[in-house]
C-alpha cells in the first residue's frame, strides 16, 4: 500500500497543532462532532430532497465510544460519508478546511493561541491522538474506505469493512505525560462536560453508553451494573433557546465557532418573529471588517435553515448590500425544504424575512448609537463607508432607512476624531441658519483649513468635515435633512449675507470688471470666471465652483478607473479686503505681464489650498523663487 504525503502547508499546521498548549487540545472533540453534525445535515437534507432513502430525523446520531482497553476514543456518525476521492481531497489537503480562511489572515507561528479559539477542523484530532483511523462509507457507495495517519508524514487509504453509511473516527490517544493526561478523554465525566461545554446545541443526539448501577433483582443491598445509551446534549439549537438562558459568552463562543472569526463580535441580535412569517434569527455584527470585506471576493449572506435543517450556507438574498457585513443565520418553518436556489430568489416568504431582518438590523444599530456611542463609533469605523454607499446606491432608495445611522466629523465635535450625526447637527443649528454646511477634503485638518470653512465657522455655524470619497455623493443623494439643505462651503451662495451686502459686492465686481476679464483671459481653460468673494476673511484667494459638480467630486470622479475626466466649473475668488487685491488693481494699469504672472500664482495657491493637483509644481517653484530674488 502506498504511503501518501501531506502537503507542505498541512504539515506545518499539523506540527503547530500537535505542539499547541494542552488546555486548548480539548477542542478536538468539538471539531469532530461538528464535522459529524455537518455530515448528517448533508445526508438528511439530501434525503428530504429526493425522498429516496426514507430516513427520518430521529434516525440520525453521533456516537462517542471511549475504550480504556485499547486506549481509543471513537466518534461515529451516520452522515453522508466520503468516497475515496473525497477522503483524499478532504483529509489529505488542509487547504480544504475552514482553517484556510483564518490562515491567510493570521501568522500562525506567532499566534498559537488562535487554535484554542478557532475551528481548526479535522486535523485537531492529532492534538490528542498519535494515530487516527477514519473509516467511511459514502451514501451511494458499496465500498468503504479506511484512512490512517500518524499525523506527521502522510497517510494511507485502503478499502475496509463497514456496513453502515457514515464515518467513524478512531483516535489512538497519545500517552500520558507528567502534565498532559490524554487518558482523561476516556473518562465519562470529562466527555460529558466537553459535550455540554462545546456541543450542547448540536441538533442531533450525541450518544454514549453509560454504565449505571441498579439494585439486583430480589436483593435489597446488592447492586449490579448495566449499560444504557444516553444522549449527552440538549439538542436545542442556540437560536431556538430562550434569550434569558443565554449569556454573552455563549453567543460569542457560538459566533467564533460558526463564523470563523477570531475576535468577539461587536453585538448579536437574537430574535423570533411570528407574524406573516415565522422565523428565528441569530445575527452578529463583527467588530472588525474581514480582510476581504471591501473587495469583490467578499460574499454576503446568512445561513438558511428550514425547520432546523440547513439548506444554504450563504443565502445572499437575506441581506441588503448596505448590511452585507452582518453574519448569522435564519431558521424558518415557512420555507420549503426542497427549494432550489432559483426558486428561493422569488420566494415571497424569503423576501418578507429579508425585509424584517433589515428593519431589525437598522433598529438595533440605531439603539446602539443611542445607548453606547463608543461601541457605535467602533462599528462606524469598520462599516460606516458601507452605509454611506448604501445611501448613495440605487438613486437613494435607502436614504430614509440609513440617514440617521450616518456620522461625520465636524467642527461641532470636541476633537478631530469625534463624529456627529445629522440629527445632532440639526439640534445645534442656530435659529437663523438656513443650511447644513460641509467642507470636503482628504483629512479633517484639510477641511478645517479651507478659507471658506473658516469663514462659516467664524460666523458661528457648524461645518461638517467630509473626509471620505463617498461622503459628498451620499449627502447630495439625501439632498435635504429635516428640511435643511446641504451646502458645500466651497460652492455657490452660502446664504450668509444680507441683500445690501450682496448689492455692494455686485457693485464692486462691476467696478473691477476689466481686471477680472484680464485675469480670466490669463487663466483660459482653467477657470470659468474670476470674481470677488464673500467667503473669504483672512485669505487672499480661494477656488469655488458653480453648478452641481463640486471640486471635491471632480477630484473623486477623476480618480475612478473609467478614464472619463470631468471638470467642475471653477471660479477663482478674490478677497476684496486683502492688500493683494489692491496690488492686482494697480498692475492692471502698470504692468499686465506681471498681472498675468500673479494671477497664475494665485490660481495655483488656490489649487493647493483645495488639495487639487497642480500641473507643473517645478514651474511654480521657479516662479516663486524668481519673485524672491
Ligand atoms: P471543515 O469542516 O472546516 O471544512 P475539516 O478539516 O474539519 O474542515 O474537514 C474537511 C472536510 O472533510 C469537511 O469539509 C468534510 O467534507 C469532510 N469531513 C470531515 N469529517 C467528516 C465526517 N464525519 N463525515 C463526512 N465528511 C467529513
pLDDT of the residue at 14? 67
Q: Is 20 in the pocket of ligand 1 (CB under 6 A)?
A: no
Cα of 204 to ligand 1 centre, how many Å?
A: 17
Please give the pLDDT value at position 23: 56
The residue whose CA has the least distance to atom 16 of ligand 1 is: 90
Mean pLDDT of 264-277: 93
79 lines ligand 1 (CB under 6 A): yes
Centre of ligand 1 to C-alpha 297, Å, is 23
- Does 277 contact ligand 1 (Cβ within 6 A)? no
Mean pLDDT of the chain: 88
pLDDT at 99 over 90: no
Q: How far is the CA of 56 from the centre of ligand 1 (A)?
A: 23
Nearest to 28 by CA among 232, 191, 261: 191
Pick the atom of ligand 1 nearest to 80's CA. Answer: 25
C-alpha 124 – ligand 1 centre gap (Å): 12
**What pLDDT score was predicted for residue 7?**
67
Is residue 35 in contact with ligand 1, taking CB distance under 6 Å?
A: yes
Please give the pLDDT value at position 409. 97
Residue nearest (by alpha carbon) to ligand 1 atom 8: 97
Summarised one tens digit per residue, pLDDT across range 421-446 is 999 999 999 998 999 999 999 999 99
Which band of pLDDT confidence, cut at 50, 70 and 90, is reported for residue 122? confident
In this structure, which residue's CA is closest to atom 20 in ligand 1? 35
Q: What is the pLDDT of residue 613?
A: 87
Residue 315, number of CB atoms within 10 A of its CB: 22
pLDDT for residue 6: 72
Among 241-245, 255-259, 440-444, 467-471, which is the least confidently predicted range? 255-259
**Local confidence band at 103 (pLDDT 50, 70, 90 cut-offs):** very low
Instruction: Name every residue whose Cβ is closer than 8 Å to that of residue 226 and which is 6 or more positions away in sequence.
Output: 211, 212, 213, 214
Q: Where does residue 185 rank: exposed (0-12), middle (13-18), buried (19+ CB within 10 A)?
A: buried
pLDDT at 20: 62
Cα(17)–Cα(71) distance, rounded to whole angstroms?
21
Residue 118 has pLDDT above 50, yes or no: no
Whether the CB of 82 sits within 6 Å of ligand 1: yes
- Span 372-389, average pLDDT: 96
| Residue 374: pLDDT over 70 | yes
Ligand 1 within 6 A of CB of 512: no
How far apart are the CA of 122 and the centre of ligand 1, in A?
6
Query: Which of 368, 437, 355 is closest to 401 using CA atoms?
Result: 355
- Atom 4 in ligand 1: which residue has the minimum CA distance? 97
Query: Is 17 a pocket residue for ligand 1 (Cβ < 6 Å)?
Result: no
CB-ligand 1 contact for 308 (6 Å cutoff): no
Which pLDDT score, from 0 to 100, does residue 157 have?
93
Answer for the pair 409, 465: CB distance below 8 angstroms, yes or no.
yes
Pairing of strands 72-77, 62-67: antiparallel
Question: Which residue has the CA at smallest separation from atom 7 of ligand 1?
Answer: 121
Please name the residues in contact with 505: beta carbons below 8 A apart, sequence gap of 6 or more. Answer: 497, 532, 534, 576
Percent of the chain with pLDDT over 70: 91
Q: What is the mean pLDDT of residues 466-485?
A: 94
Among protein residues, the one with the nearest Cα to ligand 1's atom 17 is 90
Does 139 contact ligand 1 (Cβ within 6 A)? no
Q: Is 14 in the pocket of ligand 1 (CB under 6 A)?
A: no
Nearest by Cα to 586 from 524, 533, 512, 527: 512
Stretch (H or E) spanning 617 = helix 617-628
Check residue 11 and give its pLDDT. Answer: 66
Give the residue, out of 17, 33, 35, with the most ligand 1 atoms within 8 A of its beta carbon, to mutate for a pocket test.
Answer: 35
Q: Is 33 in the pocket of ligand 1 (CB under 6 A)?
A: no
Q: Measuring from atom 14 of ligand 1, which residue has the nearest CA?
A: 97
Instruction: Out of 90, 140, 149, 261, give the residue to mutate to test ligand 1, the one with the largest number of ligand atoms within 8 Å of its CB.
Output: 90
Ligand 1 pocket test, candidate residues 17, 36, 62, 122, most atoms within 8 A of CB? 122
- For ligand 1, the distance from its centroid to the CA atom of residue 90, given in whole angstroms, is 6
Does the C-beta of 166 come closer than 6 Å to ligand 1? no
pLDDT of res. 162 = 96
pLDDT value for 13: 67
Residue nearest atom 19 in ligand 1 by C-alpha distance: 35
Identify the pLDDT of residue 351.
Answer: 93
Q: How far is the CA of 35 from the centre of ligand 1 (A)?
A: 5
Global confidence as pTM: 0.74
198 ligand 1 Cβ < 6 A: no
How far, in Å, from the CA of 39 to the mean position of ligand 1? 8
* Residue 210: count of CB within 10 angstroms of its CB: 14
Contact 333, 390 (CB under 8 A): no
Helix count (H) and strand count (E) of the chain?
Answer: 21, 22
∠ CA 35-40-43, nearest 5°, is 130
pLDDT at 109: 40
First to last CA, the chain: 89
Helices 348-371 & 373-392 angle (0-180, nearest 10): 140
Q: Is the CB of 78 under 6 A from ligand 1?
A: no
State how far the alpha carbon of 43 is from the alpha carbons of 91, 196, 238, 549, in Å: 19, 25, 22, 58
Q: Atom 11 (ligand 1): residue with closest C-alpha?
A: 90
Tell me: pLDDT of 298 over 90. yes
Residue nearest to atom 21 of ligand 1 (CA): 35
In the predicted model, what is the mean pLDDT of residues 191-200? 87
What's the rounded Cα separation, in Å, for the pair 13 and 452?
58
pLDDT tens digits for 568-598?
A: 999 999 999 999 999 999 999 999 999 999 9
When pLDDT is averaged across residues 238-255 and rounded to a whole number, the result is: 91
pLDDT over 60 (residue 100): no
Nearest protein Cα to ligand 1, atom 15? 90
- Which string of DSSP letters, residue by residue, matches 539-600? -SEEEEEESS--HHHHHHHHHSTT------EEEEEE-TTSHHHHHHHHHHHH-HHHHHHHHH
Would the pLDDT of 510 be above 50?
A: yes
Per-residue pLDDT reduced to its tens digit, 13-68: 666 666 665 557 888 998 899 899 989 988 988 888 777 677 888 899 999 999 99
The C-alpha torsion from 148 through 150 and 151 to 152, rounded to 10°, is -130
**324 or 105: which leads in pLDDT:** 324
Give the pLDDT score at 466: 96
80 lines ligand 1 (CB under 6 A): yes
Amino acid at each position: 500500500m502506498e504511503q501518501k504525503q501531506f502537503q507542505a502547508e498541512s504539515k506545518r499546521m499539523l506540527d503547530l497543532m500537535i505542539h499547541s498548549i494542552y488546555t486548548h487540545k480539548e477542542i478536538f472533540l468539538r471539531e469532530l462532532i461538528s464535522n459529524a453534525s455537518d455530515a448528517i445535515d448533508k445526508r438528511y437534507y439530501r434525503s428530504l430532497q429526493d425522498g429516496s432513502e426514507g430516513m427520518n430525523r430521529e434516525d440520525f446520531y453521533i456516537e462517542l465510544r471511549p475504550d480504556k482497553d485499547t486506549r481509543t476514543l471513537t466518534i461515529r456518525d451516520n452522515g453522508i460519508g466520503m468516497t475515496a476521492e473525497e477522503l483524499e481531497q478532504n483529509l489529505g489537503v488542509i487547504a480544504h478546511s475552514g482553517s484556510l480562511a483564518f490562515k491567510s489572515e493570521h501568522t500562525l507561528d506567532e499566534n498559537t493561541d488562535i487554535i484554542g479559539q478557532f475551528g481548526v477542523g479535522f486535523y485537531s484530532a492529532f492534538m490528542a491522538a498519535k494515530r487516527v483511523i477514519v473509516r467511511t462509507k459514502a451514501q451511494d457507495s458499496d465500498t468503504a474506505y479506511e484512512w490512517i495517519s500518524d499525523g506527521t508524514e502522510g497517510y494511507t487509504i485502503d478499502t475496509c469493512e463497514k456496513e453502515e453509511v457514515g464515518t467513524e473516527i478512531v483516535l489512538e490517544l497519545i500517552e500520558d505525560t507528567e502534565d498532559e493526561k490524554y487518558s482523561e478523554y476516556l473518562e465519562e465525566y470529562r466527555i460529558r462536560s466537553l459535550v455540554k461545554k462545546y456541543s450542547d446545541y448540536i441538533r442531533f443526539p450525541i450518544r454514549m453508553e453509560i454504565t449505571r448501577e441498579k439494585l439486583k433483582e430480589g436483593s435489597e443491598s446488592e447492586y449490579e451494573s448495566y449499560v444504557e445509551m444516553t444522549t449527552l446534549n440538549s439538542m436545542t439549537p442556540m437560536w431556538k433557546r430562550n434569550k434569558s438562558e443565554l449569556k454573552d459568552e455563549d453567543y460569542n463562543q457560538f459566533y467564533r465557532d460558526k463564523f470563523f472569526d477570531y475576535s468577539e463580535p461587536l453585538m448579536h441580535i437574537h430574535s423570533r418573529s411570528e407574524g406573516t412569517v415565522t422565523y428565528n434569527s441569530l445575527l452578529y455584527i463583527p467588530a472588525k471588517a474581514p480582510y476581504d470585506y471591501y473587495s469583490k471576493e467578499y460574499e454576503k449572506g446568512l445561513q438558511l435553515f428550514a425547520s432546523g435543517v440547513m439548506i444554504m450556507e450563504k443565502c445572499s438574498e437575506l441581506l441588503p448590500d448596505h448590511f452585507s457585513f452582518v453574519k448569522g443565520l435564519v431558521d424558518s418553518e415557512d420555507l420549503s425544504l426542497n427549494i432550489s436556489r432559483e426558486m428561493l430568489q422569488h420566494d415571497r416568504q424569503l423576501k418578507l424575512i429579508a425585509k424584517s431582518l433589515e428593519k431589525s438590523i437598522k433598529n438595533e444599530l440605531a439603539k446602539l448609537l443611542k445607548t453606547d456611542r463608543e461601541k457605535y463609533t467602533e462599528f462606524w469605523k469598520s462599516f460606516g463607508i458601507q452605509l454611506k454607499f448604501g445611501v448613495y446606491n440605487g438613486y437613494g432608495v435607502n436614504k430614509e432607512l440609513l440617514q440617521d445611522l450616518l456620522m461625520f466629523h465636524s467642527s461641532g465635535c470636541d476633537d478631530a476624531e469625534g463624529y456627529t450625526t445629522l440629527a445632532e447637527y440639526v439640534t445645534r443649528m442656530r435659529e437663523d441658519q438656513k443650511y447644513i454646511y460641509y467642507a470636503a477634503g482628504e483629512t479633517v485638518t484639510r477641511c478645517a483649513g479651507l478659507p471658506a470653512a473658516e469663514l462659516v465657522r467664524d460666523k458661528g455655524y457648524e461645518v461638517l468635515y467630509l473626509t471620505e470619497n463617498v461622503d459628498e455623493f451620499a449627502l447630495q443623494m439625501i439632498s435635504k435633512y429635516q428640511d435643511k439643505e446641504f451646502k458645500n462651503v466651497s460652492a455657490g451662495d452660502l446664504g450668509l449675507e444680507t441683500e445690501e451686502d450682496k448689492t455692494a459686492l455686485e457693485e464692486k465686481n462691476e467696478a473691477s470688471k476689466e481686471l477680472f476679464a484680464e485675469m480670466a483671459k490669463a487663466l483660459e481653460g482653467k477657470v470659468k470666471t474670476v470674481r470677488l468673494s464673500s467667503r473669504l476673511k483672512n485669505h487672499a484667494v480661494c477656488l469655488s465652483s458653480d453648478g452641481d459638480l463640486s471640486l471635491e467630486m471632480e477630484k473623486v470622479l477623476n480618480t475612478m478607473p473609467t478614464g472619463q475626466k470631468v471638470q467642475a466649473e471653477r471660479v477663482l475668488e478674490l478677497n476684496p479686503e486683502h492688500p493683494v487685491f489692491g496690488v492686482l488693481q494697480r498692475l492692471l494699469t502698470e504692468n499686465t505681464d506681471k498681472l498675468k504672472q500673479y494671477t497664475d500664482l494665485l490660481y495655483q495657491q488656490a489649487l493647493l489650498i483645495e488639495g487639487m493637483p497642480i500641473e507643473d509644481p517645478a514651474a511654480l517653484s521657479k516662479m516663486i523663487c524668481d519673485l524672491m530674488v
